[in-house]
Amino acid sequence: MGSSVNASGVSLLRNVVLVGSNGSGKTTLFEHLIKSRVPAYRGDKADPERAAALAVAAIKVGSVTVTLLDAPGHPDFVGELRAGLRGADGAIFVVSASDGIDAATEALWQECDAAGLPRGIALTKLDDGRTDFADALDSLQTAWGQAVQPAYVPLTQDSKITGNLSLVSQSVHDYASGTRTRRDATADELATIADYRNALVEGIIQESEDDDLMDRYLEGGELKEEELIADLMKAIYKGNFYPVVPVSSLDDVGLEELLTVIKNSFPVPARHRLLVSVPKNGVVEAAEAEIGDPDGPLLAQVIRTTSDQFAGRLSLIRVFSGSLKADDLITVSGRRSLFTGRTDPAHLDHDDVEKAGPLSVPDGVETKPITQISAGQIAYVGKLSRAETSDTLSSRDKPALANPWKLPEPLLPIAVVAATRNDDDKLPTALARLAVEDTTVRVERSATDQTILWTMGQAHGDLLLNRLKNRYGVNVAQQPIKVAYRETFVAASAGLGRHVKQSGGHGQYAVCNLEVEPLERGGGFEFADQVVGGAVPRQFIPSVEKGVRTQLDKGVLAGYPLVDVRVRLVDGKSHSVDSSDMAFQLAGSLGLREAAKPGKCALLEPIDLVTITVGEQYLGAVMTDISGRRGQMLGSDSDGGHHAVIRALIPQSELAKYAIDLRGLAQGTGTFQREFHGYDLLPQQLADAVIAAAKENK
């Protein structure tokens, strides 16, 4: 069994997440970094889950343990990306030199900037002939400023990268022989180093705010390598200096240099910043947590959850403070409503006491059992049956609540139905497990009685359907999303409800005269008794109303609920023997249906208030698209950061695929929120199609 990480051991940990867009070479880099330390590793097998999930590996770099997190690059799997950012203390942005920085990577950089997260840049694909290092560096600095500086410059031979020139040590890491060797730089190589070194040194000294070193530098004094490395660490720690390392994963060029930067210059876990929510005078306030003390109170967060029908639930956690042993009793807390403002049936608020199961830590790409985990570690805890992704684990005597990471709403709906009766029995449990594992999933029962799986996009939806089938053995079929239309009267009308049956013996007799008129939108339903002279006996007035209400639920045009009407009972007839409660219920129902004459009724469609945020350069395209969706613009504004914020009223029927369409319009950077606004008349041509379809189905 492995031992715990003690207080001094916290300084020997580095937790780093690799982020970057699809095609940047991020996962290839992750795999080759593992191979550089695990010679027997042959690479991960092709698996649709691999590209969608946060991958974890731990490798040794000298005496330091580096835990690498490979975050998905596809925007559909932003939940796993956010989890990776929470678990790590620094990020390596993997950027393809030939493809540049896409809008999604740019947005993520700004997000990390706001959080002060330390960053470095791994520059890939420099040897594909489409760009050179100087141009690629210029693009990075144009996007992210002059604090982006190379720590190494690629050494090329016949357009092939054969090594790196170290700007700090002014030596060469040469891979030309197939094995990395360190040698002195030639005169030409020293000249290349000199072209880049001054900007690096000045940037390091300036961002580390080392006045003594700056004075010596300006006076032409000697700067020792260890002094520069120490100041580089300070500059990176502050989250405002970003070293660039050229890498060529296929030839392993730059792998050791990147690991050296991580080991020497990236933050130890005690530097992590985490907000926790603390009750104070009846109000919950955010406070900065104390991080990094293995002897402090336990504070950890679940950053990923997987479940197996045989092994149960497995929680990947980041320990921020304190220590945990197997079989310890701990508090497991999840209070999403505190941060979202609404209750989620799939993630109910909870505070539970649970016993920690077996503990293990990443070891290469495998895991090894361990007796205790401590501050700074990323580890696995088994058998926490109530723990969900983003939940907080804390000590029983000092419970805590770590603020969850921010996530966009899942806005692509998929309607699913069980394929067989057996699947129908298993579906609710399987959907609940999906929601526990993935914070970006929402499951709901819609107003049209469909089971809706809200997802982040098409790839996310496909993955979830695959999990239902292959992991949980549940086969489902997809259905078109049903829109929750409503029916209403648009003009006053009248109807005669007559239910008379004589078939020998006790008959049925009820007649009622109804007048119907529309109410204003949102007016609901009103029923008025205006019968005079006892034409309808008092005991049957409620029966007429009940029959009308029953028909309201069924609708009169296409089977959708009827709303915003006033119904008056003005006259009727009864029979002393054959009239009954049921007869007048049926008469009331028939009277409402008879009043639904051509031109008197219409369909209403649900309208959402949609708030869209996009780059200002996409404003015109998005507004044109809104018009094409029968949307009503309410206005647009700027958020002060080169983003336009658009508010519009858009029919729900036009939003089913908007999560996909907006991504295309705004090149992956657009986000939107939607909330129900109300109902409005559906254009007649569209209403006719809905009514015809309802009749055909009936």
Written as one string, the DSSP assignment of 248-262 is BGGGTBTHHHHHHHH
Domain membership flag for residue 123: yes
- Which CATH number belongs to the domain containing residue 499 in this structure? 3.30.230.10
Mean pLDDT over each residue of the chain, to the nearest integer:
90
Does residue 156 surpass a pLDDT of 90? Answer: no
Check residue 505 and give its pLDDT. 67
* Cβ neighbours around 292 below 10 Å, total: 22
Check residue 131 and give its pLDDT. 78
Distance of CA 349 to the CA centre of its chain: 19
What's the CA gap between 417 and 414, in Å, rounded?
Answer: 10
Token pair belonging to 506: 């006790």
Q: Is 160 exposed, middle or buried (0-12, 13-18, 19+ CB in 10 A)?
A: middle
Check residue 568 and give its pLDDT. 97
Average pLDDT over residues 317-329: 96
What's the CA gap between 548 and 527, in Å, rounded?
Answer: 9
- Predicted confidence band at 456 (pLDDT cuts at 50, 70, 90)? very high
Average pLDDT over residues 87-92: 95
Does residue 333 surpass a pLDDT of 80? Answer: yes
**Which residues does 461 contact at the CB level (< 8 Å), separation at least 6?**
412, 414, 453, 455
Question: What's the structural domain count of the chain?
Answer: 5
Check residue 287 and give its pLDDT. 86
Q: Which residue has the higher pLDDT, 412 or 107?
A: 412
What's the CA gap between 36 and 34, in Å, rounded?
Answer: 5
Check residue 186 and give its pLDDT. 93
Please state whether beta strands 671-681 and 350-355 pair in parallel, antiparallel, or not at all (unpaired): unpaired
> Do 101 and 248 fall within a single domain?
yes
> Do 327 and 468 fall within a single domain?
no
What's the CA gap between 47 and 72, in Å, rounded?
Answer: 13
**What angle, 0 to 180 degrees and rounded to 10, lies between the N-to-C axes of helices 103-115 and 133-144?**
50
Check residue 2 and give its pLDDT. 38
**HSE on the CB side for 596, CA within 13 Å?**
21
Domain membership flag for residue 47: yes
What's the CA gap between 305 and 380, in Å, rounded?
Answer: 10
What's the CA gap between 553 and 661, in Å, rounded?
Answer: 34
Domain membership flag for residue 21: yes
Distance of CA 408 to the CA centre of its chain: 5
Q: What is the pTM of this model?
A: 0.87
User: Longest C-alpha distance within the chain, in Å?
Assistant: 118
What's the CA gap between 139 and 97, in Å, rounded?
Answer: 9
Does residue 683 surpass a pLDDT of 60? Answer: yes
Q: How many residues does the chain have?
A: 698
Which residue among 367, 395, 423 closes a domain? 395
Task: Calculate what percentage of the chain has a pLDDT beyond 70.
Answer: 97
Which residue among 271, 288, 319 closes a domain? 271
> Do 624 and 575 fall within a single domain?
no
Token pair belonging to 161: 């990268």
What is the torsional sign of CA 106, 110, 113, 117?
Answer: negative
Q: Which residue has the higher pLDDT, 552 or 507?
A: 552
> Do 111 and 247 fall within a single domain?
yes
Please state whether beta strands 508-518 and 493-501 pair in parallel, antiparallel, or not at all (unpaired): antiparallel
What is the torsional sign of CA 35, 38, 40, 41?
Answer: negative
Distance of CA 76 to the CA centre of its chain: 7
Check residue 465 and give its pLDDT. 96
Please state whether beta strands 632-638 and 671-681 pair in parallel, antiparallel, or not at all (unpaired): unpaired
Which residue among 271, 289, 313 closes a domain? 271
Q: Is 39 exposed, middle or buried (0-12, 13-18, 19+ CB in 10 A)?
A: exposed
| Minimum mean pLDDT range among 165-174, 243-252, 279-288, 417-426 | 279-288
Question: Are the C-beta atoms of 537 and 579 separated by less than 8 Å?
Answer: yes
Domain membership flag for residue 564: yes
From the list 506, 516, 690, the residue with the least C-alpha distance to 596 is: 516
- Which CATH number belongs to the domain containing residue 71 in this structure? 3.40.50.300
Question: Are the C-beta atoms of 237 and 271 separated by less than 8 Å?
Answer: yes
> Do 258 and 358 fall within a single domain?
no
Does residue 5 surpass a pLDDT of 80? Answer: no
| Minimum mean pLDDT range among 1-15, 383-397, 550-564 | 1-15
CB burial string 223-248: b at 16+ within 10 A, e below: eeeebbbbbbbbbbbbbbbbbbbbbb
> Do 574 and 672 fall within a single domain?
no
Rg (CA), the chain: 33
Token pair belonging to 373: 């985990």
- Predicted confidence band at 240 (pLDDT cuts at 50, 70, 90)? confident
Distance of CA 310 to the CA centre of its chain: 28
What's the CA gap between 76 and 52, in Å, rounded?
Answer: 8
Does residue 159 surpass a pLDDT of 80? Answer: no
Domain membership flag for residue 1: no
Place of tokens 């015809």: 692
| Minimum mean pLDDT range among 113-127, 223-237, 527-541 | 223-237
Question: Are the C-beta atoms of 292 and 375 separated by less than 8 Å?
Answer: yes
Average pLDDT over residues 154-178: 89
**Which residues does 9 contact at the CB level (< 8 Å), separation at least 6?**
374, 376
- Which CATH number belongs to the domain containing residue 296 in this structure? 2.40.30.10
Does residue 7 surpass a pLDDT of 70? Answer: no
Does residue 630 surpass a pLDDT of 70? Answer: yes
What is the span of the domain harbouring residue 673? Answer: 605-697
Place of tokens 């003005």: 570
Domain membership flag for residue 406: no
From the list 564, 561, 565, the residue with the least C-alpha distance to 484 is: 561
**Residue pLDDT, tens place only, 610-628:** 999 998 899 999 999 999 9
Does residue 6 surpass a pLDDT of 60? Answer: no
- Which CATH number belongs to the domain containing residue 692 in this structure? 3.30.70.240
From the list 404, 403, 237, 398, the residue with the least C-alpha distance to 322 is: 398
> Do 27 and 53 fall within a single domain?
yes
> Do 188 and 234 fall within a single domain?
yes
Domain membership flag for residue 5: no
> Do 457 and 490 fall within a single domain?
no
Token pair belonging to 441: 């999933």
Check residue 555 and give its pLDDT. 95
| Minimum mean pLDDT range among 258-272, 381-395, 446-460, 557-571 | 258-272
Domain membership flag for residue 206: yes
Output DSSP code: residue 129: S
**Which residues does 327 contact at the CB level (< 8 Å), separation at least 6?**
355, 356
> Do 369 and 388 fall within a single domain?
yes
In sequence order, the β-bridge partners of residue 647 are: 611, 635
Average pLDDT over residues 141-154: 94
> Do 151 and 266 fall within a single domain?
yes
- Which CATH number belongs to the domain containing residue 449 in this structure? 3.30.70.870
Most confident of 176-190, 257-271, 586-600: 586-600
Place of tokens 């095609």: 23
> Do 655 and 576 fall within a single domain?
no
**Residue pLDDT, tens place only, 637-670:** 988 777 899 999 999 999 999 999 999 998 877 8
Output DSSP code: residue 389: T
